[in-house]
Amino acid sequence: MSHQSEQSRCYTVQLQIDTFLDGELGTAEQAFLAHVGGCADCARELRYAKSLYESVLDLPAMDCTDELVDSVYAKVAQTQQEVAAVNQPAEALREASWWQRNWFAWRPTTAVGFAAVCCLALTVSLVLVLRAPETVPTVAQQSPSLPVVPAANSAQIDAEDVRAALDELNTAIDYLNRVGRKTEEMIGGRFVVLPLQRNVDASLRRASFSTDRIEAQGPI
Amino acid sequence: MHSEYQQAIEQYRHKVVTLARYSLRSPVDADDVAQEVFLKLWRHWPNVDQEKRLAWLMRVTHNAVIDFVRRRKSLRDALDDAVDVESLSVDGSQEEGDREALNAELVAAIRELDDPFRSILVMRDIQGLSYADIAHCVEMNLSQVKVYLHRARRKLRENSRLRMRFEELAGS
C-alpha cells in the first residue's frame, strides 16, 4: 500500500473513531479494528479518544443547591401573590350574589335606559306644551252667560254699569272673533262665531232696549 | 404552589444546573440562568408537554445560555470573569489531585466549545439524554445531532492543552 493511501486510510479510520466508540460502526468495524491493529498512530489516537471519552462520561453532574430552588419557589410565590392581587376584584365579583353580579353587569344598561326614558318623557312634555292649542274655550265657555239683564232687574241697573257691561261685551265678542278665526279649522267659524255673534247681537238689542228704558227712567 | 411543578423541579434541577454550569464558567451566572429557566417553566407550565418536560428544560437552558453569552458580548467575557471553584477544588491524594486537575482542564475545554457542539456534548455524554431529546432541544434531526456530537469530540481531541495533560497523566 502506498504512503498516500495509508495516510488516507488513517484519516478515514480516525474519522470513524467516535462512531466506533458509540458502537455504531456496523459492518465497517472489522476493517476499522484490522487497521488499528496494524497502525501505531491510529491505535494511539484510539486510546486517547477512548480515555478522553470515558473521562467526559465520568464528569460529574453539577448539584443544584437548595438555596437556588428556594429562591425559585420564593419568586414563584411572589408572582402568585401579585397575580392574585391583580385578579382580586374579578374573584370578588365572582363570589358576589346573583343580584350584585347582574346589577354590576346591568348597571350601564340600566343607566342608559333610565336616561332614555327621561329624554322621552321630556320630549313628550315639550311637544304637548308647544302643540297645546291656546286654551280653546268650549262653546259654553265661549259664550259665557251674557249679561242679559232681566227686565225685572233692569230698573235696578245703573246706566254706567250697562255701558261698562256693553264695553266688556264688545271686548268679549272681539276676543271670540279672534278665537274663532284662529280655531277655524278646529271648530269652524260658522259653528261658533256666527251663532255666537247672533246671540250677542240679540242680547245687545235687548240690553239696548233696557238701557234706553233705564236712561228714560233715569237713575233709580 | 403547584405540587407537580415542585416535583418537576426536584426531578430535573440537577440536569438544568449541569448544562448551565458546563456552559458557563461562573457558577453564579450558571445559577442565574438555571433560576431563569425554572421561572420560565412556571410561566409556561400549562403549555409544556408533560412527556417532553426534560427536553423542554434542556432547550430553554441551551437558549438561555446562548442569550446570556450574547448579553455578555462574547463567550470570552463570560469565561474570564469567574472561576468555577466547585470543579477546580483540589485536595486529597496526588492521584486525586491529578484527576481533579484533569477534570478541570476537561471542563474548561468543553466550555470553550462553540454552540451547539458544547450543549450537544454535555447533553449526550454527561447527562445521557437520548438523541431524540437532544434533537428536540437543538431543533435538528438525529443525523445532524450525531454529526455535531462527533465533531465536538474531535474538537476536544484537537485541544493541545488537554492532550498534553492526558499524556502527562499517562506517563506518570
pLDDT confidence of residue A93: 58
The DSSP line for A44-66 is HHHHHHHHHHHHHHHPPPPPPPH
Position B141 pLDDT exceeds 90: yes
Question: What residues make up the domain containing B25?
Answer: 3-83+92-171
pLDDT confidence of residue A188: 46
> How far apart (Å, rounded) are the C-alpha atoms in residues A18 and A201?
138
> How far apart (Å, rounded) are the C-alpha atoms in residues B68 and B29?
9
**Per-chain mean pLDDT for chain B:** 84
Distance from CA of A3 to the nearest CA of B (A): 23
Q: What is the pLDDT of residues B3-55, one digit of tens each?
A: 889 999 999 999 999 999 999 888 899 999 999 999 999 999 888 988 889 99
Q: Are B110 and B117 in contact (CB under 8 A)?
A: no
pLDDT confidence of residue A91: 60
Query: Is A59 in CB contact (< 8 Å) with chain B?
Result: yes
Phi-psi region of A157 (alpha: psi -120 to 50; beta: other; left: phi over 0): beta
Domain range annotation of chain A: 3-58, 64-95, 97-132, 141-217
Q: Into how many domains does chain B fold?
A: 1
The nearest alpha carbon in chain B to A24 belongs to B146
Q: Which grid cell is A182? A: 284662529
Average pLDDT over residues A33-58: 92
- Print burial letters for A87-110: b (CB count within 10 Å at least 16), e (below 16): eeeeeeeeeeeeeeeeeeeeeeee
Cβ neighbours for A181, distance < 8 A, ≥ 6 positions apart? A189, A193
Q: What is the pLDDT of residues A18-37, one digit of tens each?
A: 999 888 888 999 999 999 99
Position A5 pLDDT exceeds 90: no
Q: Which B positions 64-93 lie with beta carbon below 8 A of chain A? A: 86-87
Which range among A84-98, B101-115, B129-143 shows the weakest confidence by mean pLDDT?
A84-98
Which residue has cell 474538537?
A: B155
Question: CB distance B39–A72 less than 8 Å?
Answer: yes
Beta-carbon pairs below 8 A across chains A and B: 93
* A49: nearest Cα among A30, A22, A28: A22
pLDDT confidence of residue B90: 42
